[in-house]
Structure 1
Amino acid sequence: MIRQSLRHKLLGVIAMVMLPAMLVSIGTVVAYDLHVYQQTLRDDMRTQAELLGHMCAPALTFDDQRLAQENLSLLRLRPKVNAGALYNARGALFARYAAPDQKPVIPSSAGQPGFQFQEGKMLLFQPIYDNGELIGTVYLRADYEMMDRFIDYMMIGVLAALLAMLSAWLVGRRLNEVITRPILNVAHVAREVVATGDVSRRAERFGDDEVAELAESFNKMLSDIESRKRELENSNREIAREAEQRSFAQQEVMRLNAELEQRVHERTIQLELANSELAMAMQEAKSANQAKSAFLSSMSHELRTPLNAILGFAQILTSDKLPSTLAQKKEFANHILKSGRHLLALINEILDLAKIESGAVALSMEPVALADILQECETMMAPLAGQRGTRLLFPAGVTVNVTADRTRLKQVLLNLLSNAIKYNRDGGAVVVDCTAGTAGTLRLSVQDTGMGLTAEQVRMLFQPFNRLGQESGAEEGTGIGLVVTKRLVELMGGSIGVSSSPGVGSVFWIDLNTTLPVPSPAEGLPPLPELPYRMRDNITVLYVEDNPANLKLVQEIISFRPELRLLTAPDGQLGLALARSHLPDLILMDINLPGIGGMEALRLLRADPRTAHIPVIALTANAMPRDVERGIAAGFFRYLIKPINIEEFTEAINSTITWLAERAQPVDGGQQGGINDQPGRHPERQHTRRG
């Protein structure tokens, strides 16, 4: 790289400032002048064309080429115009003119109106109008000296640039003494300091401007460097002393590193142990995932099994190609009903298991009289035991109370009794026993005389879809009941177990905590008075349902009751209108309705004095416990869950009719008592859950 002096740089700066400014100024003037020249030439040619067109209009109108030629000859007075022509309305050449020293290049027909540029010439086609009618076109061709003018300006610009550079050189010479000399003096002192290392040298100061301040600052910097140099020498001696201390510290660090390596080794061993535990946890998670997949596969199989029977027999009943007798139809219907109930039980137990696993089960723990529970279970299981020829033996004189959820305890016992009956032998027995346990517990056992279970079957017993080891499918079952039973017992603070001997039978037992008996809330309450009443000849029932199939099913059930008259509504809005106009005795209400839902419809019925006394029974597929609780709290008289159980449905209708009859008008003609006795406050209101 060529080194340039400050003087040359200053000269270059001056030239770079002056030259662009001058070029911009000249360029602006040239551009403006060329623009004005072009615009002036355009205006002049347009004016000449308009004047020529005005003069030649009569010649074009009367087809006088001589007059047109004379008018065009006047263009010789315009030396810049090389040629001209007139065209008639059809665009054909009418007359033309060419300068004596120019080659006559004239188009044979009129072109598009406007300006054109061609070979350094400007061309113009100007239409001629007379009273708004096109009568011809004027053509002019003139010299376009734009490039010549531009070259002249370029020569002027070069000359001006040379003059500017000369001025810059003269100015630079004058500024050299004022600016560059003091700066060069500072540079000279700096080179000497760098070469010799002598920081005691100082630069000379000239004048009292910024350059002089620069020299003063440079001298001050040299003074600071001289002071720092002395301090650095002192610091070097201090560094040598600290180096000895650092050596000692390094030895200490090496000792600490050795200790750290020992600790790392210990942590590594701990990490390996943690990794081993993590691998075991991952293996357990993998096993759980495989169990989940197996559960889903089994659940799919169990759901499809009853559906196969339902859909298969239904297709036979609805097929014209497979005729069947009345007895066969009845048999097929029984198979559909049996499979449907089995499917419903499976769905209910799957839902129970899902709620238990998700922690959504809310238990009401309270003292429960075990004798009452056993009596209810014996009554419910006696028909099933009678069909199988199995004897049921329950203990007598049980006075122990246990801490449990009454409903869930009953569900646990029914599951155990149902399994004991189903997997028993013909003519066998089921023995229920209560024995005192340790630490305030009670053991409740259910013993059967069935085929018993092997040790492997007992080990896999409380897994989903293991139906007491009966994989052959000889007995129907969901295979989830024992899983739900185990979870419920554990949620109630108890435990469950089993002991079995192949060929002898099995004993399932549960341990629960005992508690002191408490008086029943119903004790001491007077019975409801039996009022004389007059039965109605017919009962009007309003059914609000949007599903046609469900509506048809209820219509068929009601058709067997001649004393019942059925009104139907497909939505809540129409249901409210029918209730207010017909005032039915009983309303069946679906919850999920289009428009106004069942809950809102019930609220509107209760708010209307005309319909506030009408009992409303919920007939819905909303089967979750929170849905049932909401329905009962909202004021439904009964809460029935789909699919419809005809016996439960009939019992609900009958109990409601009995309730209506008890509150009907007395025989002696007294006032009706049902208006103020709203069904939402009836103490017998309950809900029905199947499965």
Structure 2
Amino acid sequence: MPAAGTAVIRLRSIRTKLMAVVMSTTLAATLVSVGTVIGYDLRSYQHALKSDLVTQAELLGRMTAAALNFDDARLAQENLALLRARPLVRAGAIYNAAGKLVASYVAPGEPAEFPPRPEAGKPRAQGRYLVLAEPIVDNGELLGTVYLRAENRLLQRIVDYLLIAAGVTLLALATSWLVVRRIGRVITAPIVAITGIARDVVATRDYSRRAQRISKDEAADLADSFNAMLGEIEQRTLALERSNQEIAHEAQERARAQQEVMRLNEELEERVHERTLQLELANQELVRAIEEARKANQAKSAFLSSMSHELRTPLNAILGFAQILNSDALPASDEQKREFADHIVKAGRHLLTLINEILDLAKIESGAVTLSMEPVGIDDVLAECRSMIEAQAHKRGIRVLFPDHTLAVVRADRTRLKQVLLNLLSNAVKYNREGGAVVLACAPDPSGRLRLSVQDTGMGLRQDQIDALFQPFNRLGQENSTQEGTGIGLVVTRRLVELMGGEIGVTSSPGVGSVFSIALASAAPATLNAPEPAWQPAASHDASVDAAHLLLYVEDNPANLKLVEELVRLRADLRLLSAPDARLGIELARAHHPELILMDINLPGMSGVEALRVLRETPDTAAIPVIALTANAMPRDVERGMGAGFFRYLTKPIDIVMFNEAIDRTLEHVRARHAGEGAA
């Protein structure tokens, strides 16, 4: 009984599936065909309705043209009355050329509403109506407009068609159900018979049972294949029984292997978990890096915009006053010329300061700054800063107070520490009140470091200004101040303090003043190194001895060449040869054997570096020292130039003191070499 019940259930399941397939196919085909017919008919109906409405409007327009020409409202009304024969048209109106309503028609039960001045166009749906406004034209002249409002029975027609489609679909499904019910047994009976044999074989393990051929179709082929499969299974059963021991042994081996695999899987899961955590951390770092890169890109854009403005400001003064001095149409007195020249020098120095600070910032950001960390005595550094800042403070009547004999020592780079303090003191003087005060204090920090603070009596800073303080070109929130400044100094100052292992802080009160402080690690006084003496110009020599010093300057820019010529002319111990390109410079060097060569880097045809290599490869010129004089001022340019073999590397714009010092030291080197050769 249970087996028979299961067979009935499975038989019903097969029939149900077959019936579901047939019914689904019938439903899909019926819906597609009925939907296509309904869609085509509705489209044709809508098109015919619009065409009929347009034709009716054109006919009324022609009939009413005469009434509009003669302003006969009665005739127009009679023409509209003909619409009674068109039950779908529920309302109509005639307008003259001025848009005035001349005649109208309204079907019974319809509202007598008409637009004030309908716009001509194609028929369009308006609620349950289809409206049309057609112009009345006679001999190319616009006489008026015909307005028709017809009942749009498209929705009613759709409902009717849907009812018809539902009836047709139900009829098709009922027919399919009856057909499948009749022929289902023919299809499913062979399959049910094979299923029964298979169930008995599985239950009794009697592989001698065979299925009967009930039909002569694919089901019969299935029965033959099933019988062949049973025979094959019967033959292999004995072989399988003989291999049970081997299988059992293999099962034991597989069990041990499975245990090993499970152990390895556990280890792998642990590794995957660890790698997943690492990946999540890496993704978080990547998100932070992307956000930092975005912020850095925005900061770079703002920095470049501000830098362009700051560079153009001094250039405007330089070029403007230079054009006045160079113009014959703008005569100026000697006093005015001196004043203009003073403005040019002042703007040029400001531009040079800006460029140097930008280069400092670039070196710091690129990691190219190398610090010489050593114990530095605070008293010596403060004495140097005091001598350099007092003149600036005296001009504005500002008192500068320094501590006496602190005996403090910090671990820092002496040059960079001096640069940091000078920048803070210079800002304190610039943005101070007239007659104010600047106080520099030195005291131990609670953390064991030494804190140097610079306090001013200026206008102070708001909190929002302090938050944006260490940004390039910020200028302490004093953008409208008359004091000159680049706004880069504080950025460089903070970077330098951090590179020296310290920290910088600021507190401010609006209307009272600000306090900038730096904290550096203290050092033992016993290891203090004395500062290197500043360079002093070389002692002048007798003109009769040095008059023979010959210099060769290779420069393609006439203005730069003219400047060096004027500098050499001011010295009686020098003579100058010049060449506009490297090839001519090499020939002049071979012919005249100058004691010193000044070489530009960016030359036409052959660069200064290539010219230096040629000079070194030539025996007659190999020993002549060559000084680079170029506008390539980036740290990597200087390193590359010194690595190429230049004796000294000077950058433009020319610092006259450094220029003369380089020439004097190089000539001293040449004299020392000649003296050594003579003694040998």
Q: What range describes the TM-score normalised by the shorter chain of this pair?
A: 0.5 to 0.7
1:196 matched to 2:213? The reply is yes
Alignment-derived partner of residue 499 in structure 1? 507
Mapping for residues 335-414 of structure 1, pairs under 5 Å: 335-414=343-422
Alpha carbons of structure 1 residues 397 and 280: separation in structure 2 relative to 1, 3 Å: closer
Of structures 1 and 2, the larger Rg is shown by: 1
- 1:437 corresponds in structure 2 to 445
Residues 577-635 of structure 1: CA distance to partner in whole angstroms, max 9, x if unpaired? 32233222332222333455434544555566654554433211221223334444555
Partner residue, 2:232: 227
1:115-141 Cα deviation digits (max 9, x unpaired)? xxxxxxxxxxxxxxxxxxxxxxxxxxx
Change beyond 3 A, Cα 1:451–1:588: same
Distance 1:277 1:424, change over 3 A: same
What letter matches 1:541 in structure 2? L
- 2-side partners of 1:339 and 1:549: how far apart? 18
Change over 3 Å in CA distance of 1:647–1:364 after alignment to 2: closer
Q: 1:445 to 1:578 in 2, by over 3 A?
A: same
Contact 2:590 2:620 in 1 (8 A): yes
The reply on whether 1:573 has 2:571 as its aligned counterpart is no
Aligned pair in 2 of structure 1 residues 625, 310: CA closer, same or farther (>3 Å)? Answer: same
How far apart in 2 are the matches of 1:305 and 1:496? Answer: 30
2:551 partner SS: strand
Choose which of 631, 634, 637 in structure 2 pairs with 1:624: 634
TM-superposition CA deviations, 1:216-243 (whole Å, max 9, x none) = xxx99975553348999xx9xxxxxxxx
- CA 276–555 in structure 1, closer or farther in 2 if over 3 Å, else same: closer
In structure 2, distance between residues paired with 1:438 and 1:221: 95
C-alpha change, 1:556 and 1:416, in structure 2 (3 Å) is: same
- Give the direction of change, closer, same or farther, for the CA distance of 1:320–1:229 in structure 2 (3 Å limit): farther
In 2, Cα distance between the equivalents of 1:677 and 1:461? 62
Q: Distance in 2 between matches of 1:321 and 1:196?
A: 123
Q: Among 459, 469, 475, which residue is 1:467 paired with? A: 475
Instruction: Measure the CA separation in 1 of the matches of 2:574 and 2:539.
Output: 24
Q: Residues 420 and 532 of structure 1: is their aligned pair in 2 closer, same or farther, counting only changes over 3 Å?
A: closer
Q: 1:395 to 1:636 in 2, by over 3 A?
A: farther
Contact 2:436 2:457 in 1 (8 A): yes
Pairing 1:58-77 to 2, within 5 Å after superposition: none
Distance 1:571 1:283, change over 3 A: closer
> Where do residues 604-683 of structure 1 align in structure 2 (5 Å cutoff)?
605=615, 610-611=620-621, 614-632=624-642, 636-657=646-667, 663=672, 672-673=674-675, 675=677
1:518 has 2:527 as partner: yes
Deviations 1:329-354 (A, max 9, x none): 33223222222222222233233333
Check conservation: 2:546, 2:574, Cα contact below 8 A.
no
Give me the whole-angstrom Cα distance separating, in 1, the residues matched to 2:614 and 2:386.
44
Aligned residue for 1:170? none
Q: Per-residue displacement from partner, 1:21-56 (whole Å, max 9, x unpaired)? A: xxxxxxxxxxxxxxxxxxxxxxxxxxxxxxxxxxxx
Shift of 1:568: 0.8
Q: Which residue type is aligned with residue 231 of structure 2?
A: E
CA distance in structure 2 between the partners assigned to 1:301 and 1:228 by the alignment: 93
3-state DSSP class of the match of 2:346? helix
Contact 1:613 1:677 in 2 (8 A): no
> In 2 relative to 1, CA 224–338 (structure 1 residues): closer, same or farther, beyond 3 Å?
same
Q: For 1:594 and 1:494, how far apart are their aligned partners in 2?
A: 48
In structure 2, the residue corresponding to 1:424 is in which secondary structure?
coil
Residue identity (%): 62
Deviations 1:298-333 (A, max 9, x none): 333323322322333233333344333333233223
Letter in 2 for 1:226: G
Shift of 1:463: 2.2
Q: Which residue is 1:319 aligned to?
A: 327
Q: Summarize the alignment of residues 413-428 of structure 1 with structure 2, pairs less than 5 Å apart.
A: 413-428=421-436
Render the CA deviation track for 1:383-437: whole Å, top value 9, x for unaligned.
4334444444333434433233333323222211221221223333333332222
Gaps of 5+ in 2: 1-209, 216-223, 241-281, 533-537
Q: Secondary structure at the match of 1:451?
A: coil
Indicate the residue corresponding to 1:560 in structure 2: 570
Query: Partners in 2 of 1:522 and 1:490 — Cα distance?
Result: 23
Query: Equivalences for 1:233-248 in 2 at 5 Å?
Result: none
Aligned to 2:550: 540
Task: Give yes or no for contact 1:613–1:675 (8 Å, CA) kept in 2.
Answer: no
1:487 to 2:481 alignment: no
Give the superposition deviation at 1:510.
0.5
The Cα shift of 1:651 comes to 3.9
Contact 2:375 2:529 in 1 (8 A): no
TM-score, normalised by the number of residues in structure 2 = 0.52
Distance 1:500 1:601 in 2: 56
| 1:63 corresponds to | none
| Rounded Cα–Cα distance in structure 2 between residues aligned with 1:289 and 1:633 | 33
390 and 675 in structure 1: CA distance in 2 versus 1, 3 angstrom threshold: farther
Describe the superposition over 1:509-549 as per-residue Cα deviations: whole angstroms up to 9, x where unpaired. 111112335364999xxxxx999998323432111223233
Is the 1:463–1:480 Cα contact (8 Å) retained in structure 2? yes
Measure the CA separation in 2 of the matches of 1:559 and 1:531: 15
Between structures 1 and 2, the one with greater helix share: 2
Secondary structure at the counterpart of residue 226 of structure 1: helix
One-letter amino acid of the counterpart of residue 411, structure 2:
T
CA contact 1:613–1:676 (8 Å) conserved in 2: no
Partner amino acid, structure 2, of 1:487: R
Q: Does 2:560 correspond to 1:550?
A: yes
Instruction: Tell me the equivalent position of 2:316.
Output: 308
Distance 1:522 1:636, change over 3 A: farther
If the length of structure 1 is used for normalisation, what is the TM-score? 0.52
Cα deviation, residue 292, structure 1: 4.6
RMSD over aligned Cα, in angstroms?
4.7
- Tell me the distance in 2 between the aligned counterparts of 1:515 and 1:303: 41
* Distance of 2:540 and 2:283 partners within structure 1: 78
Structure 1: gaps spanning 5 or more residues? 1-192, 199-218, 236-273, 524-528, 665-671, 679-691
- In 2, the alpha carbon distance for the partners of 1:595 and 1:676 equals 39
Q: Find the aligned partners of 1:579 and 1:363 in 2 and give their Cα distance.
A: 39
2:464 is aligned, of 456, 459, 464, to 456
Once the two structures are superposed, residues 481-502 of structure 1 have per-residue CA deviations (whole angstroms, 9 ceiling, x without a partner) of 1112112211221100112233
In the superposition, relative to structure 1, how do residues 606 and 289 fare at CA in structure 2: closer, same or farther (>3 Å)? closer
What whole-Å deviation, never above 9, does each CA across 1:657-685 have from its counterpart, x for those lacking one?
A: 56667x49xxxxxxx5164899xxxxxxx
What residue identity is the alignment partner of 1:478?
Answer: T
Amino acid at match of 1:443: R
2:479 match: secondary structure: coil
1:27-46 paired onto structure 2 within 5 Å: none
Output the CA distance in 2 between the equivalents of 1:366 and 1:196.
106
- In structure 2, relative to structure 1, the CA distance for the partners of 1:605 and 1:298 (3 Å cut) is closer
